[in-house]
Amino acid sequence: MKKTNTIINTAIETILTESNAIANLAKLIDADFEEAVKFILNSNGRVIVTGIGKSANIATKIVATLNSTGTPAIFMHAADAIHGDLGNVQKDDVVICLSKSGNTPEIKVLVPLIKNYGNKIVAITGNVDSYLGEHADFTLNAYVEKEACPNNLAPTTSTTAQLVLGDALAVCLLDLRGFTSKDFAKYHPGGALGKRLYLRVSDLVENNQVPAVNETDSIAKVIIEISEKRLGVTAVLNNGTLTGIITDGDIRRMLSKSTQISEVTAKDVMGKNPKTIFEDAMAIDALTTMEKNSITQMLVVDHKNNYVGVVHLHDLIKEGIF
C-alpha cells in the first residue's frame, strides 16, 4: 500500500497535469472554434454529439450542458450509429464528434456517412492531423501533452480537455442567445437550484396562517395570536393598515423587564417600520434580506402595502432554498 504522502503527491500531480493542459487549451482556440459556434447558433437543427469509449461518456455530459442552456442536443454512440442509430441525424442537424486520436475505426466509418447526408461535422480531437481532424468542417484542437495516468494510457487529461471545450462551446452559445437566469429556470424546475430561480414568496405563504392583532389589543391577546398561528410573530394593524410587528422575542424581553402587563397593549411592544417584502418577490430575495438583517421572519405585503402574511425561514429551509 502506498504511503499517505505518496498518495497525496500523486493526487497533486494529477491535478496539476490536468490543470496545465486545460490552461494550454486557451492557446489553441482559433477561427474554427468561432465559426463552429456561429454555425451551431444559426442552425435550424439540433446538435448531435457522438464518440466512442470514454469520449462517449464525455459526449453525454456535453449534451446535458447544451440542453440545459438552450441548445437542443442528443447523444449518439459512434458504434451504435453505424448499426442503425444514424437515423437520429436529421436534416440541418450539426454533429459534434469527439475522439482523442481521430483515427478509430468507428469514426472512420461514421464521418463519411454523415457527410454524405450533407450534415456539418465539428471535431473535438487531440490530433488535428487525424482522419477526423482533416475531414471535419470545423476542427477544435483538444491536444494534451500527456495523460495524468502514470502509464500515459487511461483517458484522463484528454477527456477533461474534451469536456472543457464542450463547456466553452455551450457557454459561447448561451451568451450569444442572451440566455438569462429566467431561461435557466425553465430548464431546471426541480431541486433547490430551480426553486431559487422560480419560487416566489407568494408560493411560500399561501399555506401559512396570517397572524394579526390591532394596536389596542392586550398583550394576552398578542401572546395567544402568536402561539396559535405558530410563526413566532404577528403583524400589528391600525384600521387595517400595517403599523408594526411583534415577535416572540419581543414578548420575552417585555416580560423580563416587567410583570405589570395588564395595561400594556400591542402598540406599546411592537417594533415600528418592520421589514416587509412583496408577495411577488423571489423567495431567494427573502432569504437574502433575512440573512442581511439577522431575522427569521418577514411580513409580506401586496403592492398596495396591504398585509397578506408571513414568510418564515423554516419555509425556505423546507423548500431546500436555505
**Average pLDDT by consecutive 10-residue portion of the chain (322 residues)?**
77 95 96 97 96 96 94 95 91 97 95 95 97 97 94 93 97 91 68 72 92 94 94 94 94 80 88 93 92 93 95 89 74
Please report whether residue 194 resides in a domain: no
| First-residue to last-residue Cα distance in the chain | 42
DSSP symbols for 180-205: -HHHHHHH--SHHHHHHHH-BHHHHH
Examine the domain organization and report whether 174 and 213 are in the same domain: no
Sheet of 94-99: strand order equals 73-77, 47-51, 94-99, 120-125, 138-141
- Same domain membership, residue 46 and residue 171: yes
At 107 the pLDDT is 94
Q: Do 28 and 77 belong together in one domain?
A: yes
Q: Are residues 170 and 135 both part of a single domain?
A: yes
What is the structure's pLDDT at 188?
A: 65
SS3 state of residue 39: helix
Give the model's pLDDT for residue 189: 63
Place of cell 426553486: 195
User: 188 lies in a domain?
Assistant: no
- 314 marked among binding-site residues: no
Number of domains observed in the structure of the chain: 2
Q: Which of 123, 144, 179 is the last residue in one of the domains? A: 179
Chain centroid to CA 147: 30
- Same-domain pairing of 70 and 141: yes
The pLDDT, as a whole number, for residue 53 is 94
The answer as to whether 63 is a domain residue is: yes
Residues 205 and 118 in one domain: no
Instruction: Let me know if residue 193 belongs to a domain.
Output: no
pLDDT the model gives residue 294: 92
Answer yes or no: is 281 within a domain.
yes
Q: How many C-beta neighbours within 10 Å does residue 265 have? A: 18
Distance CA 210, CA 230 (A): 10
Please indicate if the annotation marks 303 as binding a ligand: no
| Residue 95 and residue 218 in one domain | no
73: domain range?
Answer: 4-179
CATH code for the domain of 39: 3.40.50.10490
Please state, in angstroms and as integers, the Cα–Cα distance from residue 238 to each residue in 91, 212, 275, following that order. 68, 10, 17
Q: Is 216 annotated as a binding residue?
A: yes
Q: Is 268 annotated as a binding residue?
A: yes
Domain for residue 135, yes or no? yes
CATH of the domain at 285: 3.10.580.10
Q: Are 175 and 41 in contact (CB under 8 A)?
A: no
Is 189 within the bounds of a domain?
no
Residue reference for cell 484522463: 156
* Same-domain check for residues 50 and 122: yes
Residues 173 and 217 in one domain: no
